[in-house]
A and B are shown apart, each in its own frame.
Chain A
């Protein structure tokens, strides 16, 4: 069923009785050409682009819970293409271009909103870094504007400009960045993939990888054995556990990141504000809730919930930037488990096992990557060659010295 304004009016007038499920509840078949493990945004996007761009194969997505229940539905929904390094910026710019066309492509309202992202500047050194980053962005086809204090004040007069420790000296504005309704991304890709024949199999946990003579031939699941020509793993914070089924150790630690939503307020934050010095970022959802987050909890965790000290820390830095935040009630907070990689950058690569491919290590930045990661992973699965924008995301980069240390924090995952 294609969605349209006409269809919406028709349903509104006929009691909304004609809506159909958006994807089939598929049962596993004995074998597929491609099995994607993980029904998050990345896994579903991979299946969608495999089916759409790279032509007719038997494809399944296996999800241990329900699709969209992982990080794709837990993040703070920020999308942007404001990276600095060569290995990164072309990839994220490719992703942003896919976002810009996503709703037309999927015929699905994902509420892609290019409301602009402002990275605040608090010192001369930060201004130099912002100018350099802005130039790198522009050279790679993205957009960037350097604002002075007055420019920031005109946009966000309620910020704490004269903070003794971090006075606001300006900002780097990336107008094409913004937010997307995160769970609609999973649903939209699921619907698009399903329409192209992909089996989306929920409540199907992968518990083993069958490998014969150095080649993967299928997966053991909670719903039985499923044969596979190629297996792509895209399981966000569970990468180490799933790849351990193939005997692999990864340059990854799992950490929890929390997100917060306040009660609904009248619109007063039109865009996204990031405050690197205090590590805090905030936007306002279309329903009026302030959506914000900050640091990870800093120790290995698979708990999908955070602890109180970080709640306090995030709210403190938030109030130091937006004093008015102290008057709002916090409605909800939750946590998601992320793969923190050793240089803070992701992996999209073949493994040494024939037919086994890995997409992971996205840290807390993988939501914005969803379309490009899906596209590039599909490209790799199909052609065995990396997509031109994802050539740097190799698993062996620590051995070869080609790390992508975007934040300059070294090999300490809990600092990225």
Chain B
């Protein structure tokens, strides 16, 4: 698979390590009433779709940036690549702080 890095251009997926569902960027709010349940769900449960999946890839053997890659898990086609930093900042701007952490 070739990942089209937003800053560096096309890169072999072998340069990256995979973390998983991009939802892992959204840590639950630790002071919430339901923090225990939320952290359980956050840590262990997965949507695990067959089809489009937003996921985190770390450019370990490159510029060490984190990317959010939108990939089809059935065809392995890569549909979109964003810097995780941009995604996080956009999330923060779009939500009130607590909701951003949901």
Report the nearest B residue to A342, measured CB to CB: B44
Among A65-73, A149-157, A247-255, A349-357, the stretch in contact with B: A247-255
State whether B48 touches A240 (Cβ < 8 A): yes
- The reply to whether A300 and B45 contact each other, CB–CB distance below 8 Å, is no
CB distance from A252 to the nearest CB of B (A): 6
Nearest CB in chain B: distance from A218 CB, A: 24
Beta-carbon contact of B76 and A398 below 8 Å: no
Q: Are A298 and B73 in contact (CB under 8 A)?
A: no
Q: Tell whether, in the assembled complex, residue A411 and residue B44 are in contact, meaning their CB atoms are under 8 Å apart.
A: yes
Taking a contact as CB atoms under 8 Å apart, the answer to whether B53 and A307 are in contact is no
Query: Contact between B48 and A301 (Cβ–Cβ < 8 Å)?
Result: no
- The interface size bin for chain B is 20 to 34
Is A302 an interface residue when CB atoms closer than 8 A count as contact? yes
A188 to chain B, nearest CB (A): 30
**A248: shortest Cβ distance to chain B, in Å?**
9
A164 contact set on B, CB distance < 8 A = none
Complex formed: what's the CA distance from A412 to B44 in Å? 9
| Number of residue pairs A-B, CB distance < 8 angstroms | 62
Q: Which residues of B contact A249 (CB under 8 A)?
A: 41, 45-47
Q: Of the candidates A253, A301, A307, A309, which one forms a contact with B46 in the assembled complex, judged by CB atoms under 8 Å apart?
A: A253
Assess whether B43 is in contact with A398, with CB atoms less than 8 Å apart.
yes
Is A399 on the interface with B (CB-CB < 8 A)?
Answer: yes
In the assembled complex, A303 has its CB within 8 A of some CB on chain B: yes
A241 contacts B by Cβ under 8 Å: yes
The reply on A414 being an interface residue by CB < 8 A is yes
A19 touches B (CB below 8 Å): no
Which DSSP category, helix, strand, loop or mixed, fits chain B's interface? mixed
Smallest Cβ distance from A209 to chain B, in angstroms? 17
Q: Please judge, given known A-B contacts A250-B46, A411-B43, whether A309 and B76 are in contact too, CB under 8 Å.
A: no
Chain B hits for A398, CB < 8 A: 40, 43-44
Q: Is the CB of A254 within 8 A of B76?
A: no
Q: Which B63-85 residues have C-beta < 8 A from chain A?
A: 71, 73-76
Partner of A300, one of B13, B43, B44, B73: B73
Asked whether A252 lies within 8 Å of B46 as measured between CB atoms, the reply is yes
- Asked whether, in the complex, the Cβ of A254 is within 8 Å of the Cβ of B40, the reply is no
Q: Is A6 engaged at the interface, CB distance under 8 Å to the other chain?
A: no
Using known A-B contacts A300-B53, A303-B74, determine if residue A253 contacts B1 with beta carbons closer than 8 Å.
no
- Is residue B14 contacting chain A, with contact meaning CB distance below 8 A? yes
Give the residues in chain A near B48, CB-CB below 8 Å: 240-241, 250, 252-254, 300
User: Closest Cβ of chain B: how far from A284's Cβ, in Å?
Assistant: 30
Judged by a CB distance under 8 angstroms, whether B30 is at the interface is no
Contact, CB under 8 Å: B18 / A303: no
CA distance A301 to B40 in the complex (A): 24
A342 contacts across to B, CB distance below 8 A:
43-44
- CB-contacts of A267-311 with B (<8 A): 298-303, 307, 309
Contact assessment for A299 and B14 in the assembled complex, using a CB-CB cutoff below 8 Å: no
Contact pattern, A 233-252, Cβ under 8 Å of B = 1, otherwise 0: 00000101100000001111
- Contact digits for B44-67, partner A, Cβ 8 Å, 1 yes 0 no: 111111100101000000000000
A-binding residues in B (CB < 8 A) = 1, 13-14, 17-18, 20-21, 40-41, 43-50, 53, 55, 71, 73-76
Known A-B contacts: A253-B20, A301-B73, A412-B20. Give 9 more (CB < 8 A): A240-B46, A249-B45, A252-B46, A253-B46, A298-B17, A299-B18, A301-B76, A302-B50, A307-B76
Q: List 9 tightest A-B contacts by C-beta distance, closest first.
A: A240-B48, A251-B44, A302-B50, A249-B45, A398-B44, A299-B18, A302-B74, A342-B44, A300-B73
